[in-house]
Chains A and B, each alone.
Chain A
């Protein structure tokens, strides 16, 4: 007998046919995303008809798609709608893997912020404006940030301020300022604050010197104070004024002033920098633990083992700065490259972003000892890392000793996690006699009796069938190719 958890009862499991709304798509009344027979669609309500026609008619839609700023959308027949409220149905180009802002390296969040502002500038030129500026509306198509919500555009009414200004500051400006000026690891705040970092919290955590930067002094510190004062005052709320329908006390913003505001936000974001120095791996490199014959041997063996695997998607677990992710990408794989270290992921992202060959690699900051959980309403708005497992093949190079010794995880548990993530596995075993492991054990009691090559084989045997194993030349390390049973 299986018992259903509360979450299972609340969230319908995806049937193989029929139409199911995406659990994250519920806030916006004018449209939503759903899957029909496994295909992703976006339904537009008649309430959004005029805005959609202006978006397409002004040429903005075509321009944004052509520039690669907005994901491609095809029109689909209205019969494929989820319900009667549909006015039009769109079929967006699906992305193979969805990532979240709390998994992005600094430059990924920064590039997503700049994209959002550039899209808003283009929209203003076309007489339109972004209705929201959520970081979740940006996805990474490997190394390229792209907007995914085609319904975020509305006709701008003369004099109207930017309705998404607060959201932009919370989703982008505040976390970027914290990462750049306080500590890059504050990106985890985005995990708890699903609608962005509250500005008063960011203002408290930022160093006093952040007030010397005009952009942060204005858009963050002053903005936070204005919010606090407004909240504490007896003035009617914005919603109350709206219901009255009056214009009394309503701030107005001319189009050219709004343009200046966006330029100012852009300068504030562009002026934030973070350089990976002092984080664990920043100057580690991918091959510094190897002599040059060993490095060449490792590359050769991994390449050979990869050729014996199949499937489009590969996850590189503990990818570091991406030497082996690149090897897999060059062999035609689509790679999600996970590393717990901001410095490594940052370097990796910059390398793939600046590479004209556009390698199909998505670097992310993910700690496998505490992977991203399911978050938001009913745990269903943001999927857990395991819930997004889409890879056939896993690379786990120079990783197991960090999990087993660095984090005290039994080898059986590591085998189970890998089995939940993929069906082909190339894993490297680093013995205790290796310098790296010896350093880890130097100042602590060796309680890892089972940590040996034979111990790993025994632990993995229940779930994995060994296909091949080879010792790396001029080293004590071994590579093993496993297939899930």
Chain B
């Protein structure tokens, strides 16, 4: 892997992977929740109309 002209910093690359791992789980949970909420809202709307 050859990076571009900007020095990514080795410490920055490692911590980036660590933080991404930390935030990934809540990120996906929130996204699933948003999908469910959207689905429920749509059903709700269909029932009322």
Contact = CB atoms under 8 A, between A and B. Distances in A.
Contacts of A247: 1
B4 A131 contact: yes
Given A131-B6, A154-B4, A238-B8, A222 B15 contact: yes
A163 B3 contact: yes
Q: How large is the interface on A (under 10, 10 to 19, 20 to 34, 35 or more residues)?
A: 35 or more
15 contacts: A28-B5, A29-B5, A132-B6, A166-B12, A218-B19, A226-B11, A230-B11, A230-B14, A237-B10, A242-B1, A242-B3, A252-B17, A253-B16, A257-B17, A261-B19
Given A161-B16, A222-B19, A253-B16, A231 B11 contact: yes
A235 B13 CA distance: 14
Contacts of A131: 4-6
B11 A253 contact: no
Interface in A220-260: 222-223, 226-231, 235, 237-239, 241-242, 247, 250-253, 256-260
Contacts, number: 109
B6 to A, nearest CB: 5
Contacts of B14: 226, 230, 251
Nearest to A152: B4
B27 A161 contact: no
A222 B11 CA distance: 10
A257 B24 contact: yes
Interface of B: 1-24, 27-28
Contacts of B16: 161-162, 165, 251, 253, 261
Nearest to B26: A260
B8 A166 contact: yes
Contacts of A231: 11
Nearest to B23: A264
A257 B5 contact: no
A27 interface: yes
B3 A219 contact: no
B14 to A, nearest CB: 5
A227 B24 contact: no
A2 to B, nearest CB: 38
The 9 closest A-B CB pairs, nearest first, are A230-B11, A260-B27, A166-B12, A226-B15, A251-B17, A227-B11, A238-B10, A226-B11, A261-B20
Contacts of A30: 5
Kindly name the residue among A256, A259, A260 whose own CB sees the greatest number of chain B CB atoms within 10 A. A260
Given A160-B1, A222-B19, A223-B15, A238 B9 contact: yes
Interface in A117-170: 131-132, 154, 157, 160-167, 169
B12 A256 contact: no
Given A27-B5, A163-B6, A166-B8, A238 B13 contact: yes
A308 interface: no
